[in-house]
């Protein structure tokens, strides 16, 4: 008998804090077996203690290390009897500043973690997803994939790519019975969001500071439906429609307001 003992299984990258941590907690509450990886070993130790060693399999993983990722997924599959009901590609970093002034090494780190590692992890996990009826491949995109945000241009570019990749893969994997979806969070109260941005966030509206538990709840809801894009908060969906129709207006409003000077969701 596998360690998961027949339970549904979720594998979460970036599980030691923020949205990944809250998702691990929520799914564990629902009786799922949780796989969690991160580079934050102290956070992983705390997660293991909180959930109980019988209910999870957590380990340190640099998601940019493809062979380590392959081995970690193999260990998870052994613990679940080859099942992967939900892959949550959540690990990400936020490094910003004006693109002209950004260190190239920082730009490449954002690309490698926020995009390349997502592609790599999904590519490695597809056999497990295909082998699990009703599985879902879910990724963290961003509200900055609605309209690119100044001073986090590379971050925005990776999140646009994740959103587009999600849409394309949702078509490719549909015949195999694998659903593909993403979340586009706004200003989420997580460590990736700078303190200045948290302090300046409005108290209401689509750019209000939102607890990461709301993203976890979107992941849970996504598993039970066929919707592709999950906006947190939900008002961002209407904003996406406005951007599609009036991108120049949005550009000019952002340039005038100076609101977006730091990373958002």
CB-based contact 26:34 (threshold 8 Å): no
Q: What angle do CA 3, 183, 178 make, to 5 degrees?
A: 55
Token pair listed for 220: 């849970």
3-state secondary structure of 164: helix
Among 69, 155, 223, 239, the active-site one is 155
| Per-residue b or e along 141-154, where b marks 16 or more CB atoms closer than 10 Å to that residue's CB | bbbbbbbbbbbbbb
Does the annotation count 155 as an active-site position?
yes
Indicate the pairing of strand 9-13 with strand 56-60: unpaired
User: What's the CA gap between 44 and 85, in Å, rounded?
Assistant: 21
Q: Which residues are CB-neighbours of 240 under 8 A, at least 6 positions away?
A: 146, 184, 229, 231
CB-based contact 230:184 (threshold 8 Å): yes
User: What's the CA gap between 229 and 233, in Å, rounded?
Assistant: 12
Write out the catalytic residue numbers.
155
């Amino acid at each position: 008998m596998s360690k998961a003992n027949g339970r549904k299984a979720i594998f979460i990258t970036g599980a030691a804090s923020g949205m990944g941590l809250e998702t691990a907690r929520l799914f564990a509450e629902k009786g799922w077996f949780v796989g969690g990886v991160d580079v934050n070993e102290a956070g992983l130790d705390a997660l293991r203690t909180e959930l109980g060693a019988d209910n999870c399999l957590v380990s340190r993983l640099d998601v940019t290390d493809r062979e380590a990722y392959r081995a970690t997924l193999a260990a998870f599959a052994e613990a679940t009897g080859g099942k992967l009901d939900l892959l949550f590609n959540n690990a990400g970093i936020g490094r910003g500043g004006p693109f002209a002034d950004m260190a190239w090494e920082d730009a490449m780190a954002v690309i490698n973690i926020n995009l390349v590692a997502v592609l790599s992890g999904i590519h490695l996990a597809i056999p497990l997803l295909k082998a699990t009826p009703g599985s879902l491949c879910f990724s963290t995109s961003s509200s900055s994939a609605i309209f690119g945000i100044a001073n986090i241009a590379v971050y925005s570019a990776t999140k646009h790519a994740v959103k587009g990749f999600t849409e394309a893969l949702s078509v490719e994997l549909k015949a195999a019975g694998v659903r593909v979806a993403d979340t586009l969070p706004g200003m989420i109260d997580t460590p990736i969001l700078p303190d200045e941005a948290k302090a300046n966030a409005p108290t209401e509206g689509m750019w209000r500071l939102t607890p990461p538990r709301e993203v976890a709840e979107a992941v849970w809801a996504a598993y039970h439906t066929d919707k592709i894009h999950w906006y947190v908060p939900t008002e961002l969906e209407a904003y996406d429609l406005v951007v599609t129709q009036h991108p120049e207006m949005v550009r000019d409003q952002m340039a005038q307001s100076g609101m977006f000077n730091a990373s958002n969701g």
